[in-house]
Structure 1
Amino acid sequence: MKSTYRCSLTFLAFLCILKVCELCSNVRGSRAFKVVAEGSSLQLSCEVLHCGVTGWTGGWAFREMPTTEFTFLTPSERIVLSNYSSTANSTHLLVNIHNINQSDAGAYRCMITWPGQSTSPGHVTNVTVTAAAVDSSGRNLSHRVLLCLSAAMCFPLVLGLVWCLTPSPPPVPPRSYTSFAARGKQKKELVYAEVTLNKSRRQNDCPKQVPEATVYSSVHFS
């Protein structure tokens, strides 16, 4: 009975040691699919659980489709590799890729080699690179400029239409420059005339008294 109990304890201790060793020699990460546009940036991170063990090597590796082998990334003007320790038992490995292009499409993963020559590959992150995104701010600016130019071109046309559709005022009759004297001559005049008949036989007779009247003209017959 005691021997069975001891064997159980030994087995449990061995399992614990294996579990601790597994946790302390592992790369923590998750599978992911990322879609990025050309010209943008990409940042990836993985966590190496080493429990303070030194001497391990490795980093981020890349596999270009359709190849099957991973090659380690090296720093360049576009690729920046860095790391930091969050705790005494783990270290985060970072990769930043600037100005993404189609050659950066493929699979990325962390690959660590331990002092005992064992390896721990991390989960794969598949990256797809699409065409460059259209700059919305620039497009909005071009649209605004186009609208302003269209409005400036349409304004004279609108003014012309308004001028054409507005009814013209009636013509002003010409003024008459006829003199007042000429106007007076056009009127009909009433002429009073006195006719006097003088005969020899009535020369001595007294003329008949008539009331004086306004004479405008006089005609005498003898």
Structure 2
Amino acid sequence: MMKSAYRCSLTFLAFLCILKVCELCQSIRGSRASKLVAEGSSLQLSCEVQHCGVTGWTGGWEFQEMGTTGFTRLTPSERIELSNYSSTANSTHLLVDIHNINQSDAGAYQCKITWPAQITSRGHVTNVNVTAVWCLTRDHPSPPPVQPRSYTSFAARVKPKKELVYAEVALNSSRRQNDCPKQVPEPTVYSSLHFS
């Protein structure tokens, strides 16, 4: 009776180990993340598929736009590149490269894998926020003049400012990088103060 219980325990432990190996072999490795990306720049996301050499799985990246429900599969386009590479015989990295990021790219990204028995696995979500582009423009009215200040304190006399320059920064309404000037024009200098 003791041998039977011992054999049953070993069988159960072996079964648990097999389940654990299968769990590790059919999984997506990654961590939750939040990324802040400037408009017009590029972004690369990666997830690692642990498949232990199993073939027949399919997968890719999914995207959920901010304010919507449900993920949609990403497909290659002029701005979106999808690729993969095998780091070992047991794992493959899935990559997505997004070029010329814009506000419509803000949202949640995750990997989704479908295994041979139609079992699915999803990776952790990466939330992407896109910051607006600010451009220097000259087609806005000049800023109001600044009233002169009296610098009588000791600190003001010890560390005087060498130069005062006014510049204007305005948000470009179309929010596209192409609308920004290629070269930023020289700022208009309204006055210059030099201390010796």
TM over 0.5: yes
* 1:142 and 2:186 matched: yes
Q: How does 1:16-55 map to 2 (within 5 A)?
A: 16-55=17-56
Quote the Cα distance in structure 2 between the aligned partners of 1:132 and 1:114. 41
Would the aligned equivalents of 1:41 and 1:98 in 2 still touch at CA under 8 Å?
yes
Quote the Cα distance in structure 1 between the aligned partners of 2:110 and 2:135. 30
Q: How does 1:60-75 map to 2 (within 5 A)?
A: 60-75=61-76
Q: Which residue does the alignment assign to 2:150? A: none
Quote the Cα distance in structure 2 between the aligned partners of 1:129 and 1:111. 23
The offset of 1:58, in angstroms, is 1.1
The offset of 1:132, in angstroms, is 1.4
Quote the Cα distance in structure 1 between the aligned partners of 2:72 and 2:78. 18
When normalised by structure 1's length, the TM-score is: 0.62
Q: Which residue does the alignment assign to 1:184? A: none
When normalised by structure 2's length, the TM-score is: 0.70
CA displacement 1:2-37 (0-9 Å, x = unmatched): 011001101110010000000110000100000111
The offset of 1:127, in angstroms, is 0.4
Q: Give 4+ residue runs of structure 1 displaced > 2 Å after superposition.
A: none
Quote the Cα distance in structure 1 between the aligned partners of 2:35 and 2:111. 16
Quote the Cα distance in structure 2 between the aligned partners of 1:125 and 1:30. 8
* 1:87 and 2:88 matched: yes
Q: Which residue does the alignment assign to 1:123? A: 124
The offset of 1:133, in angstroms, is 5.3
Q: Which residue does the alignment assign to 1:97? A: 98
Letter of the 2:22 partner, please give it.
C
CA displacement 1:41-83 (0-9 Å, x = unmatched): 1110000000000110110000112222111100000000000
SS of the residue 1:23 aligns to: helix
SS of the residue 1:39 aligns to: coil
Structure with the bigger RCO (C-alpha within 8 Å, sep 6+) is 2
Structure richer in helix, relative to its length:
1
Q: How many residues align?
A: 146
Letter of the 2:133 partner, please give it.
A
SS of the residue 1:84 aligns to: strand
CA displacement 1:98-148 (0-9 Å, x = unmatched): 00111000000000000011000000000001111569xx55x724xx56x
Would the aligned equivalents of 1:38 and 1:133 in 2 still touch at CA under 8 Å?
no
Quote the Cα distance in structure 2 between the aligned partners of 1:134 and 1:115. 51
RMSD in angstroms over aligned alpha carbons? 2.1
Letter of the 2:5 partner, please give it.
T
Q: Which residue does the alignment assign to 1:15? A: 16
- Identity value in percent: 77
Q: Specify the structure having the higher radius of gyration (Cα).
A: 1
- Structure 2: where are the runs of 5+ without partners? 137-182
